[in-house]
């Protein structure tokens, strides 16, 4: 059984979740302007794998909670949270050390010509729609997932279930589209 938290600890964790939910997108956005030397080009398939594993764990967490296996549900959710954190660390590390990759950049020169845009066709639009929804919802799901976890940890399962109805499909979408985005952009890595 999960420990219930003292009210003052809940208030502290609420503030921490709010701070983390604001700081992560700001830091990730700022880091795209910074480049440090290094070659971490091996990371994208790894962090795509973290997303795939997260999606699988979320599905398993749903299956086992519907079977009443609470401890196994907690285990899968905790693993999903840890993999999401590992994803974030690898994602930031890769983007700190790598120039951006453009969808359609067939010659990997960092410039997208009109011929390359034409060759990419409508898939380029599909890529950017998927990417933008993935990024936007990833920012939304951070506080949702963390608050859902906090509610369960504090024993407030009514609030937990109410929030999970929204957080779960968003988190699952973000995890799955993370894999899709990688699959779509991977031919254009230099």
In tens, the pLDDT along 69-109 reads: 999 999 999 999 999 999 999 999 999 999 889 999 999 89
| Residue 108 covered by a domain | yes
| Residue 124 covered by a domain | yes
Q: How many domains does the chain have?
A: 1
How far is the C-alpha of 111 from the C-alpha of 179, rounded, in Å? 24
Centroid of chain to Cα 156: 25
| Residue 137 covered by a domain | yes
| Residue 112 covered by a domain | yes
| Residue 5 covered by a domain | no
Task: Quick: pLDDT tens for 13-59.
Answer: 999 999 999 999 998 888 778 889 999 999 999 999 999 999 999 99
Q: In this structure, how many other beta carbons lie within 10 angstroms of the beta carbon of residue 42?
A: 9
| Residue 17 covered by a domain | no
CA torsion 104-28-49-85 (nearest 10°) is -170
Give the domain range for residue 114: 40-188
Q: In this structure, how many other beta carbons lie within 10 angstroms of the beta carbon of residue 43?
A: 19
| Residue 74 covered by a domain | yes
How far is the C-alpha of 15 from the C-alpha of 22, rounded, in Å? 11
| Residue 2 covered by a domain | no
- Output the pTM of the full model: 0.91
């Amino acid at each position: 059984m999960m420990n219930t938290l003292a009210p003052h600890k809940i208030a502290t964790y609420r503030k921490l979740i709010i701070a983390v939910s604001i700081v992560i997108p700001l830091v990730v956005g700022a880091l795209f302007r910074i480049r440090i030397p290094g070659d971490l080009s091996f990371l994208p398939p790894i962090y795509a794998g973290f997303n795939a594993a997260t999606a699988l764990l979320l599905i398993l967490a749903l299956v086992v909670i519907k079977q009443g296996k609470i401890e196994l549900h907690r285990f899968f959710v905790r693993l999903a949270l840890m993999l999401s954190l590992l994803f974030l660390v690898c994602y930031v590390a890769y983007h700190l050390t790598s120039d951006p990759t453009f969808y359609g950049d067939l010659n990997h020169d960092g410039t997208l010509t009109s011929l390359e845009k034409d060759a990419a066709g409508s898939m380029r639009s599909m890529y950017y729609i998927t990417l933008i929804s993935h990024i936007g919802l990833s920012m939304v799901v951070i506080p949702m997932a963390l608050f859902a976890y906090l509610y369960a940890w504090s024993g407030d399962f009514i609030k937990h279930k109410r929030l999970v109805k929204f957080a779960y499909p968003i988190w699952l979408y973000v995890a799955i589209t993370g894999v899709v985005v990688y699959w779509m952009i991977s031919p254009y890595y230099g």
